[in-house]
Structure 1
Amino acid sequence: MGLFDKLKKTAAEKLAAAVTPAVPVRLPEARPGKRCPGGAYFEDTTGRIPLGRAEITIALERNDNFTPPRQVATVYWNGRQIGWMDGLSETPYTDVLKRHGQAFTAAAEITTETVVELADGSVHTPHIVRALVPAPDLLEAWFKASPAERASMKLDTVTAKAPLKESNQHQEALHALHRKHGEKPFPARIETAPEPSGKYKGQDSLTFTAGGQTLGRIPARYREQHQDVFDAVLAGARDCQVAIRVSGFGEDALYAVATVSA
């Protein structure tokens, strides 16, 4: 084989390597998983996915909605995009996945939620895609573990922390508990209830109580902001730890911070 032929062969091999898609890495299954944001943009496709379990593909792709544009973990079903693994503000899954490959497959769970439109009161039930993958820190640990270590890893654990809302309505209870516990954590309970009205009517909100007193809520409108807390409750968490903190807004104002594990 002459030099020209060798160069042609080398160029062809490099081209083939460049255009050959990476073999997808199968991600481990874990609950409660991660709700994939952006589904509202792809309801025509997500609505076709049967409820229950499904198989999804995750690919690292350029997203021009960021400034500057960057790679984002993009979710597909049957070759059609149905969302992303991350929102616009933070990209923890993308940050983990790009260190370990370009294409991935995973199990997903398809459910529905009730959405009430304020404009006309109409109700629709879009399909929600939840990728059944571990939290980003656990996923990173799984990638770094040996096969033997992976076999004994617990990947379903969820721990989340969030400040409770509507604290101004519960100052008496917060002050009483602050006098008793100071800023040390103490046990509390989580109750779920559907929002009775408004844009999020029918969607679950979280109420936190201790000793029969309400400490605060996380209304349904904050679900995306505190998705990890809702995920922990979805996984079965009903007990949590709450700590009282002094607020910088208002004299002697207090608020509660909840830590939820499942």
Structure 2
Amino acid sequence: MRIKINISFILFLFISTYLGFWQNALVIFFSVLLHELGHIIIAKFFNIQVLEIQLYPFGGIAYTENISKYGGRIELFVALGGPFISMLIAIAFYFFGKHLSLSSTIIKYNTALFLFNLVPALPLDGGSIVRNLLLSKHSYKCATKFMTRSGKILSILILLYNISLILNRQITISYMTVAFFIFLGALREEKNCSYIYLLNRNNKKVKRLHNLHVRQLNVSEETYIRSIVEQFSPGNICRVMVFNEKGEVVKELCEADIMDGFLKYGYYGKIKDIVK
């Protein structure tokens, strides 16, 4: 595992030190680092490989192997790890560290880190948490779409707030920078979710069938295969019932049948191609 400091964070630390706020910069650096270590501790508990940590002024990103393949619960716990550590730090200094000179800064920043990361919008931790709560009733792609949309809206609101500050002669681009990274993160999550099930469709499912929620999808022979694939989620099993024009069950298909058909017949393949 390696720790990588993003160029924006390096500039932030340099400017803060130059302006005489090196102590605040130090607090922010270690607060972000400990926040990400919270994610890593939970990931290690589930034997998930951690590849890299990237640190930004407003938070960080812990890059792990694709944990979505394990289902919603594990990804949910990993997402909670960071905010939990930030909350513990703020509480600890509030009750036991008030005599320290930087305690107010530590409490303030860790509280902000805790609350901000719980906003239900991807790529923030709150977006991952809510997405995985939605997986019992929605597909991974649909849940991701909800949360990335929230992320884009959040980035626009933050950008507008930064513009309002500039118009009021408070020159700053810090919020604008945060908005930029949130928007990029939302786009990345949106793009990646399209490949998650294809890459991990059978990963760990066979061993955990008795632990997975079963969803029934009712389709017709004219249904496009791709529309069924988009409803799959790593954390549950879908049973596909194929009906004809008379409303009679023609065949029952499993996820492997659908995925094999998708790979064989392509983007415009239909369920009838599999059934025949």
Superposed pair shares fold, TM > 0.5: no
TM-score grouping bracket, smaller chain normalisation: under 0.3
Structure in which a larger fraction of residues adopt helix = 2
Structure in which a larger fraction of residues adopt strand = 1
TM-score of the pair, normalised by structure 2: 0.25
